[in-house]
Amino acid sequence: MQLAEWRKEKNLSCSEIAKGLGLDGDRDGTSVWNWETGRSRPDADMIDKIRVFTDDAVTAADMHECRLAWLRENRPDKFAAVEAA
C-alpha cells in the first residue's frame, strides 16, 4: 500500500505522520509529502519506521515502487540506458 493511501485511510495529515515518526522540524510534513509522492526517498531507517508506524501496511517495496513511479514520470532519462540494453 502506498503511504498516501494509508494516510488518507487513517484520515491523518502529513504533519501528523511526521510527528508519529518522531520528526520534529517545522517542515517535516513536507518531507512526508515528498516521500508519499515519490519526489524524494527517506533513508532506510526511516522506511523501517514507516513500516512499523503503519503496522506493516506500507513496506520498503511500496516506498521503492512509489519512488520509481515518480522517476519514470519525471526523470525518464534515468531509465534510457537500461531500456536500450
Per-residue pLDDT, averaged over 27-34, amounts to: 93
Q: Is the pLDDT reported for residue 20 higher than 80?
A: yes
pLDDT score for 82: 66
Say which residue, 78 or 81, is predicted with more confidence.
78
Q: Which pLDDT band, with edges at 50, 70 and 90, does 83 fall under?
A: low
Q: How many CB atoms are closer than 10 A to CB 16?
A: 14
Q: Which pLDDT band, with edges at 50, 70 and 90, does 24 fall under?
A: confident
CATH class as words, domain 3-84? mainly alpha
Going from N- to C-terminal start, the domains of the chain cover: 3-84
pTM: 0.88
pLDDT score for 85: 54
